[in-house]
Structure 1
Amino acid sequence: MPELKKYQMFIDGQWVDSDTKKTFETLNPENNKPWAIVPEASANDVDRAVKAAQKAFEGEWPKMLARDRAKYLRAIGNKLRENSELLGKIETIDTGKLYRETYQQAKYIAEYYDYYAGLADKVEGTVLPIDKPNIQAITTRIPIGVIAAIIPWNSQMFLTATKVAPALAMGNTVVIKCSELAPATMFEFAKLVEETGIPKGVVNVVSGFGDPCGKALTTHNLVEKVAFTGGPETARHIIRNSAENLSEVSLELGGKSPVAVFDDAKQENAINGITAGIFGASGQSCIAGSRLYLQKGIYNEFLDKLASRAEKIKIGAPMDSDTEMGPLSNFKQLEVIEKNIKLTVEQGGKIKCGGKRHPFSNEGYYFPPTIIECENHNLPAAENELFGPVLSVMKFDTEKEVIELMNDNQYGLSSGVYTSDLARGMRVSNAIRAGITFVNTYRLISPSAPFGGIKDSGYGKEAGIDSIKDYTRVKTTWFYTSDEPSLDPFSIR
């Protein structure tokens, strides 16, 4: 058995073990075998990291000219480009995501650091039209302080960049908690950050479990904002924890994203988009288009074509360049998927393709593209977020009906519409209650495009020009401009 790779946490510019010396193993989903050892942070380790971030915040970092902070962000972006192959390989080993995606994503995410570097010196204040004589008032935007960035195992570089880049651009400092399911990529990222020469304590990375690591971080009295991506149950814990320190919270949670295909849609394009939305990354995406509504006139024809496409998807080792779907990230996901499919079939769901573990490997967590026909979206597979390659398909008749069906959803992150009628595309996209709607496409990201949802999909936006302001607070400054003494001190003016 090969020797396991050993990682340390990055705190105050130093590589350290947990003060308890506790560690845990991270598994390779391709073969269910441990490949690396990671420190298990204690509450004391978290306290050290937060205090290091607070010290850095009280130091030179927020006082730097914005253009000088921007240089560090651009340096991080360049490091990502230069090391995209390494980052992609580590993320693939740790999560099972395809190397062809992780490698390309590591390169592309550099654009986020460039984007926020460009915005760093463009966040402006205002001069207020005050209704009082001899008074001048202005607003400025100031950094918040220590940011706790809690990152899930999927799309790690993207979901780190959307938090860390705007936070750093505005002069905040950061403590990153990586997922216990796949922490390795964050340590490799920290190595690159260290190479930029960024001041000590500005970026810190800890690894551990929800308790004590996550709890200690989200309740710490020096943490001013928690930026979290993950599941609703963990989010509820974070909100409760934030009552301890009155920190701001932004939540990017899951979804059960609906996609509608109308009779007039270009079918080949729709099939490609649906395939990307639910089978890309093995369905392990918060915006996965996992509910599909097909108009009655094309239902049978379209479903047959889609199932045929799904059955041709090549399942294999995630490092192989011709693999189109690799393993799921962990065994718990596999169990959840199998349980929900079983319940759905028992309640009348019909499996069109897939539905059982794939024989590619008896050791890894492989599950094939699965399509289930459902009478309605209240069946388990259609109702619950499975975070896997499982698509529930339903019929609809009219535009009004499908809008009602798409909005009958506890989540509101993403959605999709396929139609050749531009006016219909506009009407339906405007009517869907979701933070993101794709029309005749799916699964796209950009630094300039806000990302986030409504309802149980959370609140707050990541990426886009406005999100940088979410890492600031507005400060109002009043100036008295007269040489004469102010009037009656016992009367508010």
Structure 2
Amino acid sequence: MKHYGHFIGGEWISSTDTIDSINPASAKTWATFAAGDAQTADHAIKTAHAAFTNEWREFNPEQRADVIDRLATALETHWESLVAAEVSDNGKRIAEVRGQFAGLHTWFRHFANEARNMTPEAQTNGVPGVESTLHHLPYGVVVAITPWNSPLMILAWKLAPALAAGNTVVVKPSEMASASTLEFAKLAFEAGVPAGVLNVVTGYGHTVGEALVRHPLTRKVTFTGSDFGGRKVAEAAANGVVPCVLELGGKSAQVVFADADLDNTVNGILSGIFLSNGQTCVAGSRLIVEKTIKNALTQRLLDVAGGLRLGDPMDAETQIGPLANEAHLRKVTEMVATAQSEGARCLLDGRETAQGHEGYYFGPTIFDGVTQNMQLWREEVFGPVLAITSFETEAEAVSLANDSDYGLAGGVWTQDPRKGARVAAQIDAGTVYVNHYRSVDPNVPIGGIKLSGYGRELGPNAIKDFLQTKSIWIGSAPVAVPFP
């Protein structure tokens, strides 16, 4: 049994109130986290603010980049020491976690290099005898709230540019998966990130999370999670006129045309919905297939998905691990039951394939005959459940894809490049993939529209998104007398 405290100012802070972390593969407690409150939040924010106004603010971009580079080197060397904590926390397969963690250092290296290029920008203006320059200033204390599905990878997307911009950060990971973030914070401190620059507070959203967002010294919030949680964060932040970046849920459509390469398409659809057991915001959960190939494509999907192996997420041969927690298992189970009661046809039932497995297992599930008024079409499952429908015309395909309150991602499958580009341009989503799915790169923005949130992470403006601008005007000619 491991017992984790908060990590604030380079020190472990214990708590009398704790939260059990349940290993999803065994349904048994493997660790405890400190349960923070408003007092904990106040201590963390004030510690981060003190670090910002003192040592960290005095660092120039080159010095900050050197610190981030040292963190990248530590990650490159020691990333394997973080893997078991995340697998034990959320049940993600070790093969996926290893794949994510082996490249974590590259995110920090990228933004260290970007920090070195941050300089004031000359501006053009029409005022004679006056020059103007644009300067970029850090916000100060940034609160980063991360989810349970990929906590450390998503933290890297937030933390690396926030530090490169010169901010200090207080992280509130999900109370269901905090261990890898805490282990990472310790590693970062040992690698030379100054005390107070990175702090981790654990606990529930309605107690410590809300207190962090509402704190008067919080200057920016970045949140990844459900649209329900995003609303709560946005409301709390608005009280202090604090800007937010919200990356929320999704109900992404995969549009497949009859001319698609079916082998490639099947692989893309499977990875889009069944990797991480569907517990990703970009999961391609709505499959919209041209009618002439629907039966053939569906059968291929059934053949592969029905043979995927459920097992221990710590086993590299496992293809499907458990869902992350018991409450989520109940939610997915209830949504599948509702889909059947509403008339959708269950072609592959994950409840059956999960029988006999300890823990929170739910196998790949495929429904056909899903209509636009069904819950399975409209609401995010965040699980391994695929909803299939068909179309006859390109316009119908686009209409079906856009019939969602979400707009995070989408996919288009066709061997006609012009058709792929044309349809992708019409899909209402922050990211659309053509003939592949789930790519991510620090140079390319991530974010959604509609209920999938606002603001962007990563991309060419990632550091600037954690900076405020200041215009400075410098006169080189005498000021005219205002009152002759």
Q: Would you say same fold, with TM above 0.5?
A: yes
DSSP-derived class of the 2:300 partner: helix
User: Per the alignment, in what secondary structure is the counterpart of residue 251 of structure 1?
Assistant: strand
Q: Residues 315 and 360 of structure 1 are in contact (CA less than 8 Å); yes or no, is this contact kept in structure 2?
A: no
In the alignment, what sits opposite 2:154? 159
The residue type paired with residue 487 of structure 1 is V
Question: Secondary structure at 1:174's aligned position in 2?
Answer: strand
Quote the Cα distance in structure 1 between the aligned partners of 2:405 and 2:122: 42
Q: Which amino acid aligns with 2:230?
A: A
5+ long unaligned stretches in structure 2: none
Please provide the CA RMSD for this pair.
1.4
- Given the superposition, is the C-alpha separation of residues 134 and 159 from structure 1 closer, same or farther in structure 2, using an over 3 Å criterion? same
Q: Which residue of 2 aligns with 1:11?
A: 8
- Map of 1:52 onto structure 2: 47
1:263 pairs with one of 258, 264, 268? 258
Q: Which runs of 5+ in 1 are unaligned?
A: none
Q: 8 Å contact 1:333–1:386 — kept in the other structure?
A: no
Q: Which residue of 2 aligns with 1:467?
A: 462
1:9-54 alpha-carbon deviations (Å, 9 max, x no partner): 1111211113xx2111111000111100111111111101100111
Q: Deviations over 1:426-474 (max 9, x none)?
A: 1011111101111111112111121111111001111112121100011
- Deviation, 1:279, is 0.4
Q: Which residue of 2 aligns with 1:194?
A: 189
Q: Which residue of 1 aligns with 2:77?
A: 82
Q: Secondary structure at the match of 2:113?
A: helix
For 1:393, the equivalent position in structure 2 comes to: 388
- Give distance in 1, aligned partners of 2:204 and 2:289: 42
Cα distance in 1 for residues equivalent to 2:282 and 2:319: 19
Distance (Å, rounded) in 1 between the aligned partners of 2:228 and 2:351:
28
Q: Give the structure 1 partner of residue 135 of structure 2.
A: 140
% same residue: 39
Residue 383 of structure 1 and its aligned partner are, at CA, apart by 1.7
Amino acid at match of 1:202: V
Segments of 4+ moved more than 6 angstroms: none
| 1:296 alignment partner, one of 272, 291, 297 | 291
Q: Which SS does the other structure have where 2:308 is aligned?
A: coil
Alignment correspondent of 1:103: 98
Could you state the TM-score of these two structures normalised by the residue count of structure 1?
0.96
* Shift in CA distance, 183/153, structure 1 to aligned 2, threshold 3 Å: same
- Counterpart contact for 2:310–2:354, Cα < 8 Å: no
- Does 260-269 or 122-131 show the bigger shift? 122-131
* Contact 1:13-1:201 within 8 A present in 2 as well: yes
Relative to structure 1, the CA distance from residue 72 to residue 357 in structure 2 (aligned partners, 3 Å threshold; closer, same or farther) is farther
* SS of aligned partner of 1:467: coil
Conserved 8 A contact 1:258-1:293: yes
Return the alpha-carbon distance in structure 1 between the equivalents of residues 480 and 221 of structure 2: 42
| Matched position secondary structure for 1:120 | helix
Amino acid corresponding to residue 133 of structure 1 in structure 2: P
Q: Answer yes or no: is the 8 Å Cα contact 1:310–1:369 preserved in 2.
A: yes
Counterpart of 2:37 in structure 1 is 42
TM-score in terms of structure 2 length: 0.97
Give yes or no for the alignment of 1:179 onto 2:170. Answer: no
Distance 1:230 1:357 in 2: 29
Corresponding position: 1:65 with 2:90: no
Q: Secondary structure at the match of 1:127?
A: strand
- Using the TM superposition, give the Cα deviation of residue 360 of structure 1 relative to its aligned residue in structure 2, in angstroms: 5.4
Deviates more, 1:327-336 or 1:56-65: 56-65
SS in 1 for 2:103: helix
> 1: distance between equivalents of 2:118 and 2:248?
27
Q: Number of paired residues? A: 484
Q: Which residue of 2 aligns with 1:487?
A: 481
Give the superposition deviation at 1:485. 5.5
